[in-house]
Amino acid sequence: MPQPTESTDPPVPASAAAPTAAPVVHIVGARPNFIKCAPVMRAMAAAGIPQRLVHTGQHYDVRMSDVFVRDLDLPQPDSSLGVGSGSHAGQTAALLTALEGALVSADPAARPALVMVYGDVNSTLAAALVCSKTGIPMAHVEAGLRSFDMTMPEEVNRRVTDILSDLLFVTSPEALDNLAREGVDLERCHFVGNPMIDTLLAHLARFDPDPMRERLGLAGPYAVATLHRPANVDTVQAAGRLVAALHELSARLPIVLPLHPRGRATLTAAGLLDVPELQVVEPLGYVEFLSLVRGSSVVVTDSGGIQEETTILGIPCLTLRPNTERPITISHGTNRLVEPDRLGAAVDAALRGELARPGDGPPLWDGRAGERIAALVADWLAARA
């Protein structure tokens, strides 16, 4: 089987000039997409590649989307589709229709040279389906991650997107093994590192915990929590387990919970607002949130990206899930999987320093993934031209 591309230095494009007038189109729709997209767009601009940014509006609240354009110095989107929320089926259907209109032109010369999709949200899946049906080449950033839990909507999105992608950019070595097992041609796969970490390292000096401590009245150690996974918050019964776990955590540390719109009603119905020593705040911008995390003693989450960010920041992370598509954050980071009824003991272990990060961080998480992706795309475009 052919071996994937792996490089510790960005390959040099054949030419700094754009090999084609047709643009590379980036599709973003949710918080993590913006964070991963920013370093890729920056590097492509430096390589002279024409680009467009399409915001689907999957996250439409300013605190969940527009603030990331500002915080990450992204250009204003060329198109904002305003799809909004809904059931998985309803939202995906609306995304398919809107993205087909945004990507397919009556003039074949105006079609994108390549569409870039990020992560595993419904916007990513919908873009992959539109590109496949209309013959537009597509690249998937963060390919090959697997939880092996098909009850997770994100797992379905990841698998389908990888099958349909022409280029697959991989963030960690085990993802290559996953793709190989699924029969993906490894000549299309490139191990480039993690663009989410590019963004974190580029903004590291901005993550000052003191203003957030002062704003929230945090005089001593505290925990940060984020909860939004469907399996955790879509029923009052599941949400009740999390609320009980937060009760146990609050006996040890004050908690700050930036509350995602998803699950707000069920968590509240399960008694979230009765948890002592808990501050529920609105979703935070990128710099605000990571400043808060950087000053914390422990993070409790069910998010994927935060597992990666805490790995680099060295903050103990307790993930309230039975699995993770990011096992490298366990083997090379501070992340541990925890059942809600075991959270108290896990927090005690974290506060004793038992989740220290190994000396060697994840390979290629060095802040240059965006450069590697841009260089590979430039060569791919030049070869097709």
Cα-Cα-Cα-Cα dihedral of 366, 186, 328, 137, to 10°?
A: 70
CB-count exposure of residue 383 (10 Å: 0-12, 13-18, 19+): exposed
Cα–Cα nearest to 240, from 220, 211, 268: 268
Contact 291/297 with Cβ under 8 angstroms?
no
Q: Report DSSP letters for 93-153, one per residue.
A: HHHHHHHHHHH--SSGGGS-SEEEEETTSHHHHHHHHHHHHHT--EEEEEET-----TTSH
Tokens 């097709």 belong to residue: 384
Joined tokens for residue 26: 């980036």
Among residues 55, 190, 203, 228, the one annotated as catalytic is 228
Q: At what angle do helices 286-294 and 31-46 cross, to 10 degrees?
A: 110
Q: Is 26 a catalytic residue?
A: no
Joined tokens for residue 362: 């994840």
Contact 289/305 with Cβ under 8 angstroms?
no
Alpha carbon of residue 264 to chain centroid: 21
Give the H/E segment covering residue 226.
strand 223-226
- Tell me how crowded residue 121 is: count the other CB atoms within 10 A of its CB: 25
Can you tell me the distance from the alpha carbon of 89 to that of 368, in angstroms, rounded to the nearest whole number?
A: 36
Give the H/E segment covering residue 190.
strand 189-191
- Tell me how crowded residue 273 is: count the other CB atoms within 10 A of its CB: 11
Q: Which residues are catalytic?
A: 228
